[in-house]
Structure 1
């Protein structure tokens, strides 16, 4: 019994240390990028006397990065799927606004204040590695949202729909990252970014982006159509 209790205590200690390393690494990666932080810096900032703590708990820096990517991706996937399941059970979603809410609200509710910054920087510098780190089973909700949006944007050619989705993903990532970065700075107040009115305005502009009529010359529409209807890149966890 004593040995069992000691083993459980050791497991709890290891779990706590690993979680502390993840939290510290996420903050440092968000501030400096993955390439700008060493495993020694992470261990020291996490209060680990052993500079090999990252390797001990995760195996490698890359494995730690992959774990961080998946933590956020899984959280977003669960929340978005749950929201979609609820709306679909009631015959929805019935509006673009409802889908936009599902894309945005779970990101705002993430418990860590650095994930969006981290994933945006990581996507810019190591996009292939980021996408490879995400198990496809945990990246379906975003696609479900796009499927619903397509049905509500049927008046637009597929090529234009896809462009809107690319614009939307870039807009989501940029604005939510800027918001998170500002709110992580506790040295001063951020009345705009911390305001629910600003969140509401952001949601409205996303809806406007998707609902805006297209006024392109026929020649341009043909040019877009000739380039195919596929979205250029698989979206990341945020968008």
Structure 2
């Protein structure tokens, strides 16, 4: 039931799936089993979010711990700690549609996603962002935080596309090259580290009281 619910949430979104849709997809006769185990559709979705987030967070935290011990903290390495736990999730757990579900929730049910994570199951993500802030002092902090949010949205959408192509078996020219994931990381790094344009700096100064520096 959880596998089918995750697949439906990934494809249709939280609001586009009914309890009966989940029951039918799981081959159940009525909704009693869903209500018995999960209470309702939202509680089931919350459990699905936490199931994957906990595994991703454990992997991220372990990767960051190793980088800190080895002295290997770089922008590229931290981006790897963000991305590879998500890419590895399906292989380790069989959660083939998790990234697409999260990407859909991020776009359409952001408040629900945040509440489900409880500021508890994304600590590795927060650690990565804190490291990136330290590694990119040349970018004004408010602008860097904006870019981190964009990379989060862009990254989930890109990885959702990767996940879908993997499952369809039709990776095509976008994901089949050996350099595809590395190239994707290049784009993340560029988004974060590129020098702000004069236009952006001017608008940033205007948006801050008295044009005070954010660092």
Structure-2-length-normalised TM-score: 0.88
Match of 2:36 among 47, 56, 64: 56
Report what 1:196 is aligned to.
Answer: 178
- 1:14-163 aligned at under 5 Å gives the runs 21-93=1-73, 95-111=74-90, 112-163=95-146
Q: CA deviation at 1:64?
A: 0.3
2: distance between equivalents of 1:208 and 1:63? 38
Report which of the two has the higher share of helix: 2
Please tell me whether residue 222 in structure 1 is matched to residue 201 in structure 2. no
Report which of the two structures shows the higher radius of gyration computed on alpha carbons: 1
Identify which range, 189-198 or 68-77, moves more after superposition. Answer: 189-198
Cα-to-partner distance string for 1:190-210 (whole Å, 9 max, x where unaligned)? 353244321111011111222
Look up the SS of the partner of 1:154 in the other structure.
coil
CA contact (8 A) 1:164 1:209 kept: yes
Count of residues in Structure 1 that have an aligned counterpart in Structure 2: 208
Q: CA deviation at 1:87?
A: 0.7
CA contact (8 A) 1:54 1:60 kept: yes
RMSD across aligned C-alpha pairs, in angstroms?
2.2
Q: CA distance change for structure 1 residues 228 and 33 in 2, over 3 Å: closer, same or farther?
A: farther
2: distance between equivalents of 1:143 and 1:79? 13
1: distance between equivalents of 2:202 and 2:24? 59
- Runs (5+) with no aligned partner, structure 1: 1-20, 231-239
Q: CA deviation at 1:100?
A: 0.7
1: distance between equivalents of 2:58 and 2:149? 23
Cα-to-partner distance string for 1:204-233 (whole Å, 9 max, x where unaligned)? 111122221122245323124349999xxx
Q: CA deviation at 1:49?
A: 2.7
Please tell me whether residue 185 in structure 1 is matched to residue 168 in structure 2. yes
Look up the SS of the partner of 1:110 in the other structure.
helix
Structure-1-length-normalised TM-score: 0.79
Look up the SS of the partner of 2:172 in the other structure.
coil
2: distance between equivalents of 1:193 and 1:216? 35
- Runs (5+) with no aligned partner, structure 2: none
Cα-to-partner distance string for 1:43-96 (whole Å, 9 max, x where unaligned)? 221122333221122111111010011111111110100000111112331x11
Match of 1:208 among 168, 190, 193: 190
Q: CA distance change for structure 1 residues 189 and 179 in 2, over 3 Å: closer, same or farther?
A: closer
